[in-house]
Amino acid sequence: MSRPQRILRGVVLGIGALVFLFPFYYMVIGSLQAKPDPSVAGAFPNVANITGENYVQINDRINLFQGLLNSGIFTGGVLLGTMVFGLLAGYALAVLQWRGRGVTFALALLVQVIPFQLLMIPLYVLIARDYGLADNYLGMILPFFINSTAVVIFRQYFLQLPKELFEAARIDGASELVLLWRIAIPLVRPAIITVVLLTFIGPWNEFLWPFLVTKEASLQPLAVSLANYISNVAASASNPFGATLAGAVVLAAPVVVLFIVFQRYFVSTNIGSGVKG
């Protein structure tokens, strides 16, 4: 590319970055304002109008730490199930040879086109009435414990691995679990990071299912607590606009930090480097 083209690309990318980042900046600035200013000028407030009181007010009402802890338990349980079953199922669909493998993969794809809202009522009856897991962390986690998207991602990555690696290890007497743990998983780290980030965002921001299955405020994730605060308590706050934005900042911060830390791993590794010739 010529110098003018590089400059033009940089300008266009910079403008696009500012457009996408402005809502996050506005959310942080709004959460720190003592007096709400919803106009565009509010994005550049007076320093005297900056305070942390909004965070104190919303924490007094909904306990931000407890909400973050509940969200972390919910998301951590979903991540655990997604990684364990996703890796096992993806490996079985990509590397092992068994009857019905194609049909099973087709069913995994089919599950992705079924809206979760369509299954919500039978799931609620099954988990809350039959299993008695209402107001329980396990009741929140179970419907998301196996993620078909993660299975598909892992399968596609495992399919790219050279078959010679597995054949050589089998000749040496390695079992399939050893092959998965020592050969396959280290070579698909980009897929693991991708699945972790995609899976983390879903349950961390999930509202509807935890709202249905939990009535105890001490068990509700932060997204549900914030929604209840906006509906029932925000009007009585001295600055409901700022307090709501403060809660949104706390909810969004872990996702942003996680992406910033791991975004450099969104690159493919040379999965053929272990094969000579």
Asked if residues 192 and 158 have their Cβ atoms less than 8 Å apart, the reply is: no
Residue 58's alpha-carbon distances to 38, 42, 171, 215, 254, in angstroms, are 19, 21, 61, 20, 18
pLDDT at 274 over 70: no
Q: Rounded distance, CA 209 to CA 216, Å?
A: 14
Q: Rounded distance, CA 251 to CA 24, Å?
A: 12
pLDDT digits (tens, 9 = 90+) for 195-226: 998 889 889 999 999 999 998 988 999 999 98
pLDDT over 90 percentage in the chain? 39
pLDDT digits (tens, 9 = 90+) for 225-259: 988 888 876 666 677 888 888 888 999 988 888 88
Asked if residues 262 and 151 have their Cβ atoms less than 8 Å apart, the reply is: no
Q: Which stretch of DSSP H or E encloses residue 108?
A: helix 101-111
pLDDT digits (tens, 9 = 90+) for 92-115: 999 998 999 999 999 988 888 888
pLDDT at 234: 65
pLDDT digits (tens, 9 = 90+) for 118-153: 889 999 999 998 999 999 999 999 999 989 999 999
Residue 129's alpha-carbon distances to 126, 133, 134, 135, 206, in angstroms, are 6, 8, 8, 12, 22
List residues bridging with 33 in a β-sheet. Answer: 50
Q: Rounded distance, CA 144 to CA 81, Å?
A: 8
Q: Average pLDDT in the 167-179 region? A: 89
Range list of H helices, 126-188: 137-141, 148-159, 163-171, 176-179, 185-187
